[in-house]
Structure 1
Amino acid sequence: SKILAGILAVFGILMLTIALAFSVDVTVPVIATAAFAFIVLFIIVWEARANRTDMVIKERQYDRAVSLLNRVKIKYVNNTRTIDYMCMKFHVRNATELEFVYDQYQKAKREWARKRESVYLLNEKKDILIAELKNIGVRDAEIWCSQVRAIIEPKEMVEVRHELNSRRQQLRKQIDYNTGIIQDFINELERIRNMREAYAQDVEDILGKSETINKDK
């Protein structure tokens, strides 16, 4: 705008000099020049205003970008510290190992949830089975929960019977063995009673107590 004002001033002086020196009418050139100068000045002012508006917008955008950058830096620092703490807590060296450990934890968690659901369903079916067995008159129905296959498969039932017979024989042998020991003990007491009359009453008391215990059983 200063340059334009200088040019107009020089042009005005030139027109005035020509008008005075040559007595020429310079009204039209002056008006045309003034109109042209006004148009140019208007364009310059308009562009300056637009540039100023753009500068304000750019400054705001720059401030926003700086603010976002600072937020990103803060988040980066916080995330870095969090990762470092997690690595130290779970004894890993980097984020890759931490991710692997986390994946293993998720798998174990899902497996635990699946097993818990399976146990819940198993207990539910177990209660149903016990109720059905009791309804048909089966005694000790709880025992069959661990031998379900024997209920539906004859071969498994044969194995169960064989196992029960084996246990019965072992119990019979143990009972016979214990009975033999008791009988030997009684015979020894009777021998002592016959040999020494002084202990006869004590032996009778012991034998009486043993008979009472056997009757209670």
Structure 2
Amino acid sequence: MEAKKNWFQSILSKFTFSNMPEEEIITFDIENKEDRKQFIETICLEIEMANKEIKKVKDELSQVQELLSDYQKIESFPESIKNQIKDIGLEILDNRDNRAKFKEAMNIDPRVLQIEEYEDEIEDLIDKIKALEEKQLLIKKDLEHLEAEKAEIQYQRNKIITTRQVLKTLTIAFFTFFSIVLIILTTLATIYDKDVLLPSIVLLTIGLFFVLYLYNYRGKSIYKLKRNERLHKKANDLVKKIQIKFVNNTSFLEYEYNKFKVNSHVELKYLYDKYKKQKEEKQVYKHAASALDRLEQEIIDLLEDKYIQNPQEIAKQVAILTNDKERKEYIDHLTGFTNQLKEQLNNNKETIHSAKNRIKALMLHNHSLENEIKEIIESKNVKI
């Protein structure tokens, strides 16, 4: 058995490359049908995968070679044609930049889109909201002032009432004292026959002045209380009127704020300014889009006239066309990539060649296995 393996290895080495794994040959049992089948199926899988890779690489290589050929042709164009392409390319880049800026500008606050519906009235509305906001500030100040006045009026009222209560207490005390003194004087005059005329006159004079003072203060305090009530009522009426205005203004402002999803006329004006800017940019975008389509078609037509195979693809890479240095670097890149793809193609072809040689070596070892091998190969749709 070992002799057969060594013989098969010597035959196989004539058909394979030096980089084939040695352990695959050593561990392969030629006389074992399952080993043979597994060996052949593995080789078929290698061939199948290599063929798929070849097809893929060929397609890619074809595209890259066409593109490389196109750029090499462009490189050989007269300077006048190159400059013409460059001028058109720069215009394309400029218009693409304008279009990109507009798309970026479109990613703004969605509330701006709502402004369009109220475009004709938005400026007047902003002025109205601004005026109402200023008015609201004045109303708040007026309310604060009126509340302070009401507090002062209430304070004066409380002060008058307190004074009246104190005076009432003093009046009771005075008349109690007056009565006691009067009783004493009467007793002195009737029982002790004393002369109490002068003390009586003094007492009556004091009592008279006190009564006059009480009468005068009572009249003034009543007048002050009535006046205080009028002022308080007037202040309340003013507060109610101002509050009604404030509530009405607030309702209007809140409605407009909610409608535009803002918190002030400043924010609404900001959105309107953004809308106007976007509207201007939209016109620029329309012009750029129209010009861009025309320019791209112009450069495609120019390239087609010069027998360029992939004018659409090259038109997409207009930035390379407009820069001599980048164009040369790109040609070098395509050249290197082409060589890399060719190397991949050759490696896969070598893989297939090596795999087929291994199968041929197996057939050479034993012609009786030829039908068995062909049957397995055909089942895998592999051509040897």
Larger proportion of helix: 1
Q: Which protein, 1 or 2, shows the higher relative CO under an 8 Å CA cutoff with sep ≥ 6?
A: 2
Report the TM-score when normalising by structure 2: 0.29
